[in-house]
Copies of this chain bind each other. A is one copy, B any other.
């Protein structure tokens, strides 16, 4: 997002996939782990070692529920490894919605999910963007400070303190702030709908089809239909389905099931790329 790279969850062999995609590990400074089941974090230790071998010096920020810190330090201890960079661990609080990262362009907040172990989704939200100067109507001779004020939504004043131009006269509304919600793994849970309302892309797990709804409930997972229902209730733009059970060799029935409720649905297949549009 705007030149920033984030990694959300890190299953086994993630580093191999990142290399295939030619992702520069040095630019990856924030890694968010939703929960401590192997398919969501087992690639992390290898990535940490490889970053070290590649000469990393900049801090690496890890966001996870408690336990990942112990898992990592135990392995560092037995490998007698002394990393050339710092890992800064930020524990997530279970069942709580909190902002865990913010800078001048975006915030990341946790989404409390319903799973067998402590589990959080992540909501990436661009901050409200500046109003855009309407160049066709911009009078000559404005100061750089006045233009900055216009972008913030303020008016232009003359030396006497009177309004010279209103903001509406010279600016257009800002570009829409984009948002992405990642929700894996979770049982069907309407409690998060308010939080993910209107996001551009909702990634939601769909481990099973609706014919396995009991199995989904029992294992704290969702069906494709349930994921689509979440997308519909939260009025998101696009739904991405993922985290399919290995039993589904053909994913078309899961996609069809979701599309019957929420048409703008796609499958998050390994290696595919999705862009959050302005």
* A74–B53 alpha-carbon span in the complex (Å): 25
Judge whether A153 is part of the interface by a CB distance below 8 angstroms. Answer: no
Residues in B whose Cβ lies below 8 Å from that of A67? 74, 77-78
Cβ-defined partner of A45 (8 Å) among B38, B80, B246: B38
Query: What distance in Å separates the Cβ of A187 from its nearest Cβ neighbour in chain B?
Result: 15
* A107–B261 alpha-carbon span in the complex (Å): 61
Q: When each residue 49-88 of chain A gets 1 if its CB lies under 8 Å from chain B and 0 otherwise, what string results?
A: 1000100000000000001101100110111100000000
Q: When each residue 226-257 of chain A gets 1 if its CB lies under 8 Å from chain B and 0 otherwise, what string results?
A: 00000000000000000000100000000000
Contact A46 B36 (CB under 8 A): no
Known contacts being A38-B49, A49-B38, A71-B75, is A117 close to B80, with CB within 8 Å? yes
* A49–B75 alpha-carbon span in the complex (Å): 18
Q: When each residue 157-172 of chain A gets 1 if its CB lies under 8 Å from chain B and 0 otherwise, what string results?
A: 0000000000000000
Judge whether A26 is part of the interface by a CB distance below 8 angstroms. Answer: no
Contact A116 B80 (CB under 8 A): yes
Query: Interface of A with B (CB < 8 Å)?
Result: 12-13, 15-16, 36-39, 42-43, 45-46, 49, 53, 67-68, 70-71, 74-75, 77-80, 116-117, 246
